Amino acid sequence: MSPWQLGGLSLRELGARVWANVENENLLNEAAALSYYFIFSLFPAFLFVMALLAVIPIPQLKDGLMGYITDLLPPDAASVVTKTVQEVLRGGGHGLLSIGAILALWSASSAMSSVMDALNVAYEVQDSRPWWRRRVIAILLTVAFSLFLVLGLVLMMFGPAIGQAIAGPFGLGQHAVDVWNVVSVPIALLLVLTGISLVYYLAPDVEQRWQWVTPGAVFAVTAWVIMSLGLRFYTTHFANYNATYGSVGGIILLLLWLYLTGVVLLLGAEINSEIEQAAALRGEPTAKAPGEKAA
């Protein structure tokens, strides 16, 4: 059964089951725990991503990433992130295999380890994998997700330029370039969705069939973009956290954004889990019932 059949559930039934699990599994508390690990892993993750960007010989790629951060985050939180990232980059190695980048990858994978714990709660299973295997999976997921994110960023920023560069040597006309300019944006989004789907696939200790794009991943990415833009709009037009909290206003906003990021990530996992469990109850042989690791 395709996950897009929602396990035979209607959208209303799926929403009701996910909402019930938000309370039963203390999802909001899990998201708060994730935000704690996120804040410690955020800047090491940026250091590793910047080292990854340095491998790609495209000018202004780092500036483009910082521009997206400025566009998505509330202004005060974006200021905290950009200033801290610049300070971290001055002291960290610039090569992908530098000591600073390797240590940053190790630190960033700690957040992925906490995501694995949270997704096990969403799938209602106990993780029986040894600690070293969990750490290896966390590191691989951190690298893979960073890679998908960087590739998506490259397509979003330089899709038209890449199309022109490819069209010349192969003798393709302007029509082919126009088609590429249209499809490059969905491809970039697909790369990000695939990265999220990979996390949902490997992070919990359950056997699953691979799906390039899952309903939970689509929800998580869509909700995250809407949440980020909505929070930015609210703080720009209706709330001045710096006036209320002074210099720590940006930090408070960053923590709030990380907390809401954890919420949408866990909601996406809950959606996939509920679809899987509903399919199992309807007799799908490859689906898993609640708490079951392998069907």
DSSP string, 134-179: HHHHHHHHHHHHHHHHHHHHHHHHHHHHHHHHHHHHHT--HHHHHH
Residue 37 located in a structural domain: yes
Provide the 3-class DSSP secondary structure of residue 130. coil
The sign one gets for the Cα dihedral 50, 228, 67, 91 is negative
If one counts every other C-beta atom within 10 angstroms of the C-beta of residue 78, the result is 20
User: Is 26 part of a structural domain of the chain?
Assistant: yes
pLDDT the model gives residue 56: 63
Distance CA 14, CA 77 (A): 34
Q: Is residue 55 part of a domain?
A: yes
For residue 190 the two structure tokens come to 């697909």
Tell me the per-residue pLDDT of 258-271, one tens digit each, with 9 for 90 and over: 898 889 999 999 99
Closest CA to 145 of 203, 64, 199, 219: 199
pLDDT digits (tens, 9 = 90+) for 68-95: 777 777 777 777 777 777 766 665 555 5
| The one-letter amino acid at 261 | T
Q: Say if 107 falls within a structural domain.
A: yes
**Against a cut of 0.75, is the pTM above it?**
yes
Say if CB 261 and CB 224 are below 8 A apart: yes
Which amino acid is located at 231 in the chain?
A: L
Between CA 138 and CA 206 the distance in angstroms is 15
Residue 8 DSSP code: G
Using CA atoms, how far apart are residues 172 and 247, in angstroms rounded to an integer? Answer: 54
Q: Which two tokens stand for residue 88?
A: 């971290």
> Which amino acid belongs to residue 225?
V
Q: Is residue 89 part of a domain?
A: yes
The token pair that represents 168 in the structure block: 């010349």
Tens-digit pLDDT profile for residues 115-164: 898 888 888 888 888 988 999 999 898 888 888 877 777 777 666 666 66
User: Binning pLDDT at 50, 70 and 90, where does residue 55 land?
Assistant: low
Whether 271 is covered by a domain: the verdict is yes
Contacts with 111 (C-beta within 8 Å, 6 or more apart), sequence order? 34, 37, 38, 40, 41, 42, 45, 142
Exposed/middle/buried for 96, CB within 10 Å: 0-12, 13-18, 19+?
middle
Q: Per residue in 207-233, pLDDT tens?
A: 888 888 889 999 998 998 888 888 878
Determine phi and psi for 23, rounding to 5 degrees: -85, -45
* Residue 293 lies inside a defined structural domain of this protein: no
Within 13 Å of residue 87, how many CA atoms lie on the same side as its CB?
A: 7
Helix axis angle, 249-281 relative to 215-237, nearest 10°?
160
pLDDT of residue 118: 86
Q: Give the pLDDT of residue 281.
A: 80
Range of the domain at 192: 3-281
Can you say whether residue 214 is alpha, beta or left, with left for phi > 0 and alpha for psi between -120 and 50 degrees? beta
- CA distance linking residue 198 with residue 200, whole number of Å: 5
Is residue 290 one of the residues assigned to a domain? no
- CA–CA dist 113, 125 (Å, integer): 15
In the chain, how many domains are there?
1
